[in-house]
Chain A
Amino acid sequence: MTSSAREFRQGLLDVLPILVAATPIGLLWGTLAASKGLVPFEVWLMSATVFAGAAQFVAIEVWRDPVPWVLLTVTALIVNIRHVLMGASLSRHLGGIDGRWHPFMMFLMADENWAFSERRALKTPLTLGYYFGLALPMWITWTTSSIIGAIVGRSFGDPAAYGFDFAFSAMFIGILAGFWKGPSPGAILGASAIAAALAKLYVPGAWYIVIGGIVGMTVAALLYRKGEFS
């Protein structure tokens, strides 16, 4: 096996549990989208081109007739503004990868494969094979489960009855544990969580994600001590 095939395989192995968790979330989203009047092709098109779970769930909340396409575009921009910070962080680890791939890699940058790439980069240089091993199976799983949800979703009944609506949060908690080293992550995560929860309650729209991220970063900068290797 070539080294890039080995890297791809490692990415696929790492992302497998995420695929299992993403499938019911995709089915749920496809079902909700169809209930708002999107035809299966439109459901597939949004999952394939937007490829951002949180933004797609928020869009379906906002969706109505006639379709408010300007509002939906602006909402997607706000929910996904975190990607600017995520991309800035990930760009530090792309030095070993041909620049021609970077725009396409960014198209596939979802929370999960980004988090795994960041975690991988703590130990070993990030490779194209590993990244695509995470991202391509994610894209295939997300688009496929969305369109299946759109076609047959209504026969599943209420997804909350099976706890599927919590799978997204549980998946993020599992990924977060991989970042936990020493005492300072506790302070960073606590500050981010409280700021985001308060912002969700008092700030309209989806700004809470950006606010939580910036508060977490600020706490990390304040806790930083010169010479500390973190």
Chain B
Amino acid sequence: MTATILAILGMALATYATRASGLYLMRGVVVKGRLKAALDALPPAILMAVIAPTILTTGIAETIAAILTAAAAFLRAPLVVTILTGVISVVLLRMFLSQA
């Protein structure tokens, strides 16, 4: 087996281990009150954490584009329109800010 295939299989096993173990973590635990509030907050908190470095520490173009994207999302634009808002505004902002 080549090192490349070994690396891919290692990554696949590690990833599956993380995915499957959560299933058994909460077994038998009654979820309510403060614990429920914390678990309910997890989905948005994780999504935010994945993108926060990109939108806060990459550059001013990415930060402004993220604000415009969020504005589109809050105006209830369809998801495709929201994503396009982000992609188009980041291209324009990078062009504009590199000339300024």
Q: Is B96 part of the binding interface, using a Cβ–Cβ cutoff of 8 Å?
A: no
Q: Which of A94-138 contact B (CB under 8 A)?
A: 94, 102-103, 106-107, 109, 111, 114-115, 118-119
CA distance A70 to B69 in the complex (A): 38
Stretch binding the partner chain, chosen from A1-9, A14-22, A139-147? A14-22
The answer, yes or no, to whether B8 is at the interface (CB within 8 Å) is yes
Bound together, the chains give a CA A90 to CA B42 distance in angstroms of 11
B33 touches A226 (CB 8 A): yes
Write the nearest CB–CB distance from B4 to chain A, whole angstroms.
5
Asked whether B44 lies within 8 Å of A179 as measured between CB atoms, the reply is: yes
The contact of B19 among A87, A172, A213, A224, by CB within 8 Å, is A87
Contact partner of B49 (CB less than 8 A), chosen from A50, A87, A106, A193, is A193
Q: Which residues of B contact A50 (CB under 8 A)?
A: 8, 11-12, 15
Categorize the interface residue count of chain A: 35 or more
- Which residue in B5, B25, B41, B87 is a CB contact (below 8 Å) of A166? B87
Shortest beta-carbon distance, A169 to chain B, in Å? Answer: 4
Chain B residues whose C-beta falls within 8 Å of the C-beta of A74 in the assembled complex: 14
Query: Judging by beta carbons under 8 Å apart, are B14 and A172 in contact?
Result: no
Whether the Cβ atoms of A208 and B53 lie closer than 8 Å is yes
Show the binding face of B for A, using Cβ within 8 Å: 2-23, 25-27, 31, 33-35, 37-57, 62, 65-66, 69-70, 72-74, 78-80, 82-83, 85-88, 90-91, 94
B49 near A69: Cβ-Cβ < 8 Å:
no
Q: Which chain B residue shows the least CB distance to A223?
A: B37
- Please, how many angstroms separate the alpha-carbon atoms of A213 and B2 in the complex? 36
Nearest chain B CB to A111 CB, angstrom units: 7
- Give bound CA distance, A85 to B82, whole Å: 27
Is the beta-carbon distance between A196 and B53 smaller than 8 angstroms? yes
Q: Are A173 and B86 in contact (CB under 8 A)?
A: yes
Q: Do A90 and B22 touch (CB < 8 A)?
A: yes
* A177-B3 in contact given A73-B10, A189-B48 (Cβ < 8 Å): no
Contacts of B85 in A (CB 8 A): 170
Give Cα A160 to B58, complex, Å: 13
Contact A67 B82 (CB under 8 A): no
